[in-house]
Amino acid sequence: MVVGRGEDLAIHAASLRDILRSTRRLLALSPTQKVLRGLLARGVELSSLRALELFGGRGAYHTLDYASRILTLEVWEINPLLESELRRNLPMAKIRIVDCYAEIKQTTGRFDFLVVDNPMSVYDGHCEHFDLFPDLFRVACDETIVLLDVIPSLPQSARNKYPYIFNEEQRRRRRAFYQTDHPDNVPLESMVAAYRRHAESAGFDLKWSFAVRRHFVHYLALKISRRVVF
């Protein structure tokens, strides 16, 4: 097979990205490792965490930053074609090939570290991670860390590269979920307020939060605690 110049450049770029990720992981500079340091600074004992990652993909990227530092890991991914790679990349994990949206409504499992690495726009009738709420709280323990992918705003460079992000359907869904009139630009503090409302509606209090920038996507870490009813 003859590889064209465009394909060759794409392969080279992908290889460079993999090298960059590996280097950042080695030097503990990846965004995920910054999140882990933020958790440690807030007194979270990583080695005691029972984690669930939704939308696991190939398990080749950020999951590798935390998988060896926690107690247990379960990964959900809908695409059966990715199962072998998932098992190869994450041999310590329990891999389940399931629809996250359906499974979150019926699983009996409980986790104290929920990692949601959802697609960035509208897909299969869903948008970002919005349809996981309020069911996400079903799988939470009394004290749980929730790590979400959020997009406060989209720079022009990202709009050019990903023209499907912030389409009309996504903007409509963001407007409703975050209760905003400016779905293209939702400050992190406004996002935190929205997640606080969702948590409180499910019987949880939001104890603290912090964000770490990945690129135009940010990690948003939330510590929730089940409200005690007397």
Q: At what angle do helices 188-201 and 168-178 cross, to 10 degrees?
A: 60
The first and second tokens of residue 221, run together, are 């870490």
Which tokens hold the place of 104? 């979150």
Q: Please tell me the distance from the alpha carbon of residue 115 to that of residue 66, in angstroms, as a whole number.
A: 11
Tens-digit pLDDT profile for residues 96-146:
999 999 999 999 999 999 999 999 999 999 999 999 999 999 999 999 999
Output 6 or 81, whichever has higher pLDDT. 81
Q: Is residue 16 part of a domain?
A: no
pTM over 0.85: yes
Considering the domain boundaries, does residue 63 fall inside one? yes
User: Which pLDDT belongs to residue 70?
Assistant: 98
Q: What per-residue confidence (pLDDT) applies to 204?
A: 98
Domain that holds residue 75: 45-226
Q: Are 62 and 31 a contacting pair, CB within 8 Å? A: yes
Contact indicator for 120, 165 with CB cutoff of 8 Å = yes
Structural domains of the chain, count:
1
**Angstrom distance (rounded) from CA 61 to CA 76:** 15
Q: What is the mean pLDDT of the chain?
A: 91
Residue 160, in any domain of the structure: yes
- Residue 92 clears pLDDT 70, i.e. is over it: yes
HSE (side-chain half, CA atoms, 13 Å) at 159 = 7
62 within some domain: yes
Question: Which CATH number covers residue 113?
Answer: 3.40.50.150
